Chain A
Amino acid sequence: VTGYGDHEDVPSLRRDVPADDAVLSAAGTVLRALVQDAPPPPSAALARVIAAGLPSADGRGRVTAWAARTAGKVAGLGAAAKLLLAAGVAVAGVGGATTAVELSHPAHSPSHPRIDTPPRARPQPTPTPAAPAARVPRPTTSAVTSRQRSEDGERHPSGRPGTDDGRQVDGGRHGGDTSSSVSGDGGSSGDSVAGDTSSTDSGGSHHNGGGSSDGSGSGPDGGGSGGSGSGSERGDG
């Protein structure tokens, strides 16, 4: 297949290609006589557009314009720069989650008054229909409002001294996904040993707390820390 392969007599043209460049250059010199040095006068409608900008720009506002410029700059970055930027964002997120854990942890300290409430019962075997009395302890928890129940859910991961025991409960009942198992690791120590993994899973546990307490959590980190804060205030009151 030749470079000109889509025409039947194109293969015979290949030997003329070098000459084409010279003629194209010469033709370009002549044809550029059609191009005036100055831009032509714009029409009235175009002059208005050029002078005032597009109407959509006014409606979108500066923030959108800034966002578009930023997006354009990011789009202009190379793949390595984008990866670096993404890594920076991820590290910042992890750092934010760690900070949230550090700030919210004292509210769940053993000295907190709500720590005296009895811990939630361990998972019970599924009662058989022949033994309905096995569910008798449940009414104590059913008397608790849903809000309190969620607060309990907040307290579990770090409220008990040995959260390693309770992490399975948390993971099972509060929708603690895979992060719940890691949550126990971070919450069990509850000290400065908490590393990246503890921060991420703590963010997950906070997310549960924030979502259940006020439901206004916009993100796992922010909602988690906000939810835990409000929960502690209610507990004090």
Chain B
Amino acid sequence: MGSAGADPRDSDLVVGARVGQPWALTEIWTRHSAAVAGHLRGRGVTDADDVTSDVFLAVFERIGGFHGDDEDLRAFVFTVAHHRAVDHLRRRARRGVAAPYDAQADPRTTASAETEALVRLGDARVRELLMTLSPDQRDVILLRVLGDLTLEQTALVVGKRVGAVKALQHRALAALRRVVDQAVSL
């Protein structure tokens, strides 16, 4: 799984962002903020929108020293998001604050039987489904799916080796498959 081909303006985008050009910052926000917010929601961050803003503020503060293309920028953004989510969840664990998740309906469906089964689980259960995974498995799945990161990029973000990320992904998918099987049998 990888992202689509690079936009011809990607190099200009990164260069422009490094010198703080507003158009470049806006473009980065537009491209990645929704995925980051979804990633944070999947991680269980309650005020995902606010934390997303914090993530991008941190990204923009550090982007002057960033080197790479748009693919690397995406990995960089999700690295910051990952760390912010960890910090947020730690703070929330200390405070003991919890809030219900209000997921929106997803109009995008496919004809796949497994997908249909998963969709039948209901969007409200998506996060519950994710919570059946271990935190590491959840991180890997969210980064791979929502972050659209490669295995190598995911390994860098979570600070593990590629082989360990593969194993975590496999176990997460096995757990999801069990849920799908149960849903199909119902």
Which residues of A approach B to under 8 Å, CB–CB?
3-7, 10, 13, 16-17, 19-20, 22-43, 45-46, 49-58, 60, 64-65, 68-69, 72-73, 76
A189 to B166, CA, bound (A): 72
With most chain A CB atoms within 10 A of its CB, the pick from B33, B119, B166 is B166
Distance (whole angstroms) from the CB of A126 to the closest CB of chain B = 57
**DSSP class of A's interface residues: helix, strand, loop or mixed?**
helix
| 1/0 contact string of B14-26 vs chain A (CB within 8 Å) | 1110111110011
- Tell me which of B73-81, B83-91, B92-100, B137-145 binds A: B137-145
Contact A32 B54 (CB under 8 A): no
B interface bracket (residues with beta carbon within 8 Å of A): 35 or more
- Given known contacts A32-B108, A46-B56, A51 and B22 CB-to-CB distance under 8 angstroms: yes
Chain A residues, Cβ within 8 Å of B20? 53-58
A6 to B63, CA, bound (A): 33
Does B131 lie at the interface of the complex (its beta carbon under 8 Å from any beta carbon of A)? no
A41 to B56, CA, bound (A): 12
Chain A residues, Cβ within 8 Å of B105? 33
**A-B CB proximity, top 3 nearest:** A54-B20, A57-B20, A33-B106
| 1/0 contact string of B24-48 vs chain A (CB within 8 Å) | 0110011001110111011000001
A5 to B52, CA, bound (A): 35
Contact A4 B145 (CB under 8 A): no
A65 to B17, CA, bound (A): 10
